[in-house]
Homo-oligomer: A and B are copies of this chain.
Amino acid sequence: MKTAVTPTREEDFSSWYQEVIRLADLAEHAPVRGCMIIKPNGYAIWENIQREMDRRFREKGVQNAYFPLFIPLSFFEKEANHVEGFATETAVVTHTRLTKTSDGKLIPDSPLEEALVVRPTSEMIIGASFAKWVQSYRDLPLKINQWANVVRWEMRPRLFLRTAEFLWQEGHTAHATGEEAQNLALEMLDLYANFAEEMLAIPAIRGEKSEGERFPGAQNTYTFEAMMQDGKALQMGTSHYMGTNFAKASEIKFLDAEGNQTYAHTTSWGTTTRMIGAMIMTHGDDNGIRLPPRIASQQVAIIPFALKEEDKKPTIEYCRKLQKELSHLSYFGSPLRAFVDERDERAGEKSWDAVKKGYPIRIEIGPRDIENDKVLLFLRTKDKKEKIELSRNEVGHKIASYLDQIHQELYDQALSFRNKRINKVESLDQFARLFQEESRENCFVLAPFGGDRALEEKIKKEHGVTVRCFPFEQEKSDAPCLFTKCKGVKCAIFAKAY
C-alpha cells in the first residue's frame, strides 16, 4: 500500500521524521547554522502547549517574568559544575558594533570589556535577582517562570529535538527548607508528566536521573522519559533540586523566623519545543503526523466536496456554517479549533493534506450530504477511508467525544508499544545481547543498577546506551546491581536516547 510518507518508519526512521515535518509544514532548518524556523503550523502547536501549561503553572502559584538574554561571563563562572556543563556549547557576544573596513566589508567593532554569554539556561542571572528579592522568610517561597529562547551551540541539529536556539519555559523557585524545595521539584515533574499524558497523549516514565545524567550543579534531577517509535528514549523535560549550591553561588540568603541568615534552597525545571518532536515520533504513522487533539493546531478540518461548479459556493457556505457552530463549542478550556479548507484545489488533495497535517478529525461534505442532512467524519486514528456517518445535528453534540476517543487511542497505542519493549534484565549477557544485535529493534532495559559516573561512562562506551532514570515506581526486589553486584540498589532504565 502506498503511504504518504517516504521512507516509512520501518525503512528509515530518521528520514521519515524529517519528511513528516515537511509534509505537515511545521518547521524547517534556518540559513543560520543549527537554528530552526518554526512555521505557523508548528508554532500554533507550541502556543497551545504554552497556554495550557501556563494555566497549570498559575494554579501552583507560579508567576511569569522576563530576565535578560545575556549573562556576564563573571556570573556564569560562579558555579563550577554549571559552567563546565555549558562552556563547550555557548554563543558568546564580544562586540557591540559593526564597522566598514576600507574594502567595504563589515567587521565586528567596539569590543566588550566583559564578554556576554547568550543564556543556555538562566540559573545565574535569575539567581542574582533572587538574591535581591529574597530578604526574609516572608519572601519565600518565590516561584518564577519565564518563556524564552535559549542557545546551546549544536553542530548536528535536528528539528525540534536539538537546535542551537530553542524555545522553552524555565521555572525557578526559592524556598526556606530543602524539603519544601525538593517537594516543589517533584510537584513540577508531576505537572509535566501529567501534561504529557493528558494533553500530548504521551505516556511518560517519571524518575530520577543518575549521577552521570544530572543537571550540572543540581543535587537531584527528576525527569520524565518517553519511548519513541524507534524504541529510543526521549527526555521530555526535567526538574532539578539544587540544594543550596546555586543559592551559595548567587548569595540567595534570607533572615529566618529565628533571625538567622540562611541560604535558600532552590529548584529549576524546564520543558522545550522538543515536546513537539516527541509528539511526532510517538504518534506519527506512515501517512504523517497524528496530532493529539488537545494541542492540535486544528482539531477539525472541514473539506467541501463539490465537483460541479454550481455546487461549489453553496457547499462552502454550508461548511462555513458548520465551522462557525463548531468554533462556538469549547474543548479543554478553549474554543474548538475547526477550519474550512477553501483552497482552490481538488477535494481529494485536500483530504490527503488533512491526513498529512494530522488533524484529528476530517469532515467531508458534498452536495448529496447536504441534501440528505448527513455529514461524513473521518478520524485520523482510523483508516483513511473508514467513515462515520452522522446527521448534521449530531455533529456538535458528538465532536468532543470523538476527540477524546482519538486522544485515548493515541495514548493506548503508545503505552502498549512502550510496554512491549521494556525488558527486565537479570544478566549481563542478556543486557549486552539486547543492545548489541543490530538487526533487532531498540528497547528499554530495566535492570538493578548501583554504579557511579565512571561506570555509566563505561556502559555508554561499550553499549551505546545511557541510564535514562531510576523510575519512581519500583517493584520490590533484592537483586544486586547487574554490574557491581552491590546490594540494595534500585532498578534503572537503560536505553539509546535522543
Q: Which residues of A contact B (CB under 8 A)?
A: 28, 30-32, 35-40, 43-44, 46-47, 63-73, 75-77, 83, 87-100, 106-108, 115-118, 125, 128-129, 132, 138, 144, 148-149, 151, 153, 164-165, 167, 344
Contact = CB atoms under 8 A, between A and B. Distances in A.
A164 B100 CA distance: 22
Contacts of A118: 69, 93, 118
Nearest to A117: B98
B37 A65 contact: yes
A30 B87 contact: no
A33 to B, nearest CB: 8
B68 A35 contact: yes
B93 A70 contact: no
A132 B88 CA distance: 33
A91 B93 contact: yes
Contact of A153 (B46, B91, B96, B149): B96
12 contacts: A28-B129, A30-B125, A37-B66, A43-B66, A77-B106, A88-B97, A91-B95, A91-B116, A94-B94, A94-B108, A118-B118, A149-B149
A76 B100 CA distance: 13
Given A38-B65, A43-B64, A90 B97 contact: yes
A40 B68 contact: no
A106 B74 CA distance: 9
Contacts of A46: 66
A37 B167 contact: no
Contacts of A67: 30, 37
Given A40-B64, A94-B95, A149 B30 contact: no
A99 B77 CA distance: 11
Contacts of A39: 65
Identify the interface centre among A66, A83, A99, A125: most chain B CB within 10 Å of its CB: A66
Contacts of A93: 91-94, 118
Nearest to A143: B40
Given A40-B65, A149-B69, A32 B90 contact: no
A76 B128 CA distance: 34
Contacts of A65: 37-40, 43
B129 A69 contact: no
B165 A35 contact: no
Contacts of A144: 40
Contact of A87 (B44, B106, B117, B125): B106
A69 B125 contact: no
Nearest to A165: B69
Nearest to A118: B93
Contact of A98 (B36, B75, B92, B344): B92
Contacts of A116: 32, 91
Given A31-B128, A98-B117, A128-B31, A92 B66 contact: no
Contacts of A76: 98, 106
Contacts of A99: 87
Nearest to A71: B32
Contacts of A37: 65-68, 129
A259 to B, nearest CB: 17
Contacts of A108: 92, 94, 115
A217 B37 CA distance: 24
Nearest to A149: B69
A73 B35 contact: no
B94 A92 contact: yes
Identify the interface centre among A97, A98, A115: most chain B CB within 10 Å of its CB: A98
Nearest to A100: B87
A418 to B, nearest CB: 31
Contacts of A153: 96-97
Given A88-B98, A90-B96, 12 more contacts: A36-B68, A43-B64, A44-B64, A46-B66, A69-B165, A91-B116, A92-B96, A92-B98, A93-B118, A95-B115, A98-B117, A149-B149
Contact of A167 (B31, B66, B151): B66
A83 to B, nearest CB: 7
Nearest to A54: B47
